[in-house]
Amino acid sequence: MESVYKVIELVGTSDQSWEEAAKGAIEKASKSLKDLRVAEVKELDIKVEDGKFLYRAKISVSFKYLD
């Protein structure tokens, strides 16, 4: 049987690193989305607010449609 997957974009943020930003987004998504398959980093940037850095990671996440 063939499978079908949906792909969505998420943006995670962290004041520590891009890795933490991406990890946080995936962990939060996994609480409501089941059967996550692949996460792909699409874009990394840093937002500067009041002299502080906010790391942002835009990621695409795929998950399986369930019957």
pLDDT bin (cut points 50, 70, 90) of residue 66 is: confident
What lies within 8 Å, CB to CB, of 63 at 6+ separation is 5, 6, 8, 33, 34, 35, 36, 37
Q: Which residues, at least 6 apart from 30, have a Cβ–Cβ distance to it below 8 Å?
A: 36
- DSSP letter at 30? T
pLDDT at 24: 96
Q: Which domains does the chain have, with CATH numbers?
A: 5-64 (3.30.1660.10)
pLDDT (tens digit per residue) in 13-48:
999 999 999 999 999 999 998 888 899 999 999 999
